[in-house]
Structure 1
Amino acid sequence: MTDTDWSSGSWTNEPERVERDGDVLLVTAREGSDAWRVTSYGFVHDDEHALLAPMAPGTAVEVAFVLDFSAQFDQAGVFLRVDAETWMKAGIEHSDGADSLGAVVTRGMSDWSLSPVSDWTGRTVTVRASRSGDAVTIRARVDDGDWRLVRVAPLDPAATVTAGPFCCAPTRAGLTVRFVSWRSVPADASLHPEH
């Protein structure tokens, strides 16, 4: 496990404000920021705040943050980018009054999946994106709990990928996300745990 220094990444779009509090990074999102392509809504948003660094095959990136959302579509987690039309985001999104664990996978057009995690509010959430072979496997957990499988998505093994923490605030000003860690770890050994 290797901690990634906050200064080693580059922002896709500059946040409203970025502050250091010891090892913690406080990121305040710009109102209206989001990442989405076309599906169902008909618009393209590519003004997310993602702090990205190169992600090699056979590695995983883990991002941890404190879950404290209140407005529609507040979101944070991990972002993987190949290009403007090929990317993934996974983490927590506040949708229709509930915090939910989910992912958006975009290959020209975005898709979206969510599952409520109301008991995670106020706790530390860690999201892991693991790159192995022709896939990215997304897992998440709260505090030191068990990892939960979120998504398995295809990814070209030869693709040049950048990855790291992200946040967005599509509907309001003033969302500040407290990111507590950004790490590089070995890719998951298998899709399912040994029994």
Structure 2
Amino acid sequence: MQWLNEPAHWSSSHDRVIVTTSSKTDFWRITHYDFIRDNGHFYFERVSTDFVMEVDISGSYRDLYDQAGLMIRADEQHWVKAGIEYVDGVQNLSAVVTHNYSDWSMTPLPLPPLALRLRVERRQEAIHISYLDANLKYVLLRLAYFPIGPEVQVGIMCASPEGNGFEVMFDRYRLTRL
């Protein structure tokens, strides 16, 4: 795996990656906020097939928009990120799909788990974003369109758009090529 925008502080051991995000980092394009940011942290590998990607995410979220999750990226104008995003003191399940412009969907987690198990699947042009609920069943958060290309980058991502950074742990990351 390799970094896009490597953080100053991170470590990896066995099945865990720990990152302290840098301040003022994000992935976003234009919509509503009228700016482009492509400086979030993304630890990725390249895939040219359909796949299933999973990870457990836990973080010390504290500032507006602190975020961590999984990402699929074709280039700086075409990507999907999904995971936890901290908004108004609440952890939210969040998904952003970007095709030149970013959109954003989220749902609050009033009782957030200690760690969220997230799954992202690519089946042709469809991206299935799911999370493991308290009953240990995967629940679909979003189904999104993502064009088929010869190769995409996939992996873990995190960012701190407004704050000074936070620590996040990614455990048991798995990528299964289909």
TM-score when scaled to structure 2? 0.92
Q: How many residues align?
A: 178
Partner of 1:150: 141
* Unmatched segments (≥5 aa) in structure 2: none
In structure 2, distance between residues paired with 1:18 and 1:50: 12
Letter in 1 for 2:136: G
Instruction: Return the alpha-carbon distance in structure 2 between the equivalents of residues 47 and 143 of structure 1.
Output: 33
After alignment, is 31-40 or 67-76 more displaced?
67-76
What pairs up with 1:15-54 in 2 under 5 angstroms? Answer: 15-54=7-46
Q: Which residue of 2 aligns with 1:161?
A: 152
Please give the residue correspondences for 1:6-155 in structure 2 after superposition, counting only pairs within 5 Å: 9-121=1-113, 123-142=114-133, 145-155=136-146
Residue in structure 1 matched with residue 171 of structure 2 by the alignment? 180
Inter-partner Cα distance in structure 2 for 1:159 and 1:138: 21
Looking at structure 1, the residues matched to 13 and 49 of structure 2 have their Cα atoms a distance apart, in angstroms, of 32
Partner Cα distance (2:127, 2:70) in 1 = 12
Counterpart in 2 of 1:193? none
1:30–1:64 CA distance, 2 compared to 1 (3 A)? same
Spell out structure 1 runs of 4+ moving beyond 4 A: none
> Cα gap change, 1:18/1:68 in structure 2, threshold over 3 Å: closer, same or farther?
same
Displacement of 1:60 in angstroms is: 1.0
Identity %: 31
Deviation readout 1:2-39 (Å, 9 max, x if unpaired): xxxxxxx1111011201235532110110000000000
Q: Please give the alpha-carbon distance, in whole angstroms, between the structure 2 residues aligned to 1:186 and 1:19.
A: 25
Task: Quickly say closer, same or farther: Cα 1:166–1:135, change in 2 above 3 A.
Answer: same
Distance change in 2, residues 1:144/1:79 (3 Å):
farther
Whole-Å separation in 2 of the counterparts to 1:103 and 1:37: 14
Deviation at 1:58, TM superposition (A): 2.5
Structure with a larger share of its residues in strand: 2
Q: Does structure 1 conserve the Cα–Cα contact (< 8 Å) formed by 2:59 and 2:167?
A: no
Q: Which letter maps to 1:175?
A: F
TM-score computed with the length of structure 1 as normaliser: 0.85
